[in-house]
A = this chain, B = another copy of it.
Amino acid sequence: MSRELIVLGTASQVPTRQRAHNGYLLRWDDQGLLFDPGEGAQRQLLLAGAAASDITRICVTHFHGDHCLGLPGIVQRLSLDRVPHEVPIHFPASGAEFLQRLRHASHFHDQARLAECPVEADGVQATGPFGTLSARRLRHPVESFGYRLAEPDGRRMLPERLAAHGVRGPDVGVLQRVGTVVAGGRLVSLDEVSEPRRGQVVAFVMDTGWCDAAIELARDADLLVIESTFLESEAALAAEAGHLTAAQAARIATEAGVRRLVLTHFSQRHPDASVFGEEAAAHFDGEIVVAEELARIAVPPRR
């Protein structure tokens, strides 16, 4: 089962020759979560080899243009392609009026099965085959919510213990589903033949200034996708605009115990994005990925 982030764009407010507007598709087994489709997301999806039908859920952090102007194209494409499944869309409730404008931005034969799920407050927004999707309010001039996708914790079967207890073949499945199984004339419980397995976690944090909510969203995340608009030399500008520096993004990752840190949403001031990675490296010991257009970034393998 494939779990990876497909980067559609890495620009912030202003696109550049190298950077398309912001946008991300998280492939999570058979699910596809589209985050913050900026202008051009429809074509970037195509260039990434993804189809509208791959989208099973949309999450919008806030209604600044670089995070949502790709929505009309996505909705119209879902419709044109007659994507049969319902696509829930999460967005700050305070921006409901913008969602309506974007959904009905121009003439089209609306067949998209969009289910509106306004985010009213922090907490769990949905549960499903992807696990639990929760949101927390960030710190930005307009209301902005970060998202956290968490697979339920499970258990990892231990082959040597299964063998020792004589559990084999279809009995393994029964044990996983039911929690116990009779093997060799004895009741064997799941705990005896398995160990705890932490569910995978992906966090998506943008746009925001430094705040505790960002750390809580990212707590123990396997993959953290986070805005890194500025550098520490522009810290005052970042604070004023409600954005993070690469160093701050890295410190959030460190405090939260993140494994793989993905930096994105770069200011046009820095055409070479490697500077963000270099700054972050001084503040985070884990793996740092400086996002690039159309890159595929794997969720790290389970611990």
Binding site for B on A (CB under 8 A): 13-17, 20-21, 39-40, 42-43, 46-47, 62-65, 68-70, 72-73, 76-77, 80, 95, 98, 101-102, 104-108, 142
Contacts and interface: CB of A to CB of B under 8 A. Distances in A.
Contact of A14 (B68, B69, B80): B80
Nearest to A77: B14
A68 B20 contact: no
Contact of A70 (B14, B39, B68, B101): B39
A17 B47 CA distance: 6
| Residue of A15, A46, A64, A80 with most chain B CB atoms under a 10 A cut-off | A15
A110 to B, nearest CB: 12
Nearest to A16: B46
A102 B104 CA distance: 9
Contacts of A108: 64-65
Contacts of A69: 72-73, 76, 105-106
B17 A65 contact: no
Contacts of A43: 15, 20-21, 39-40
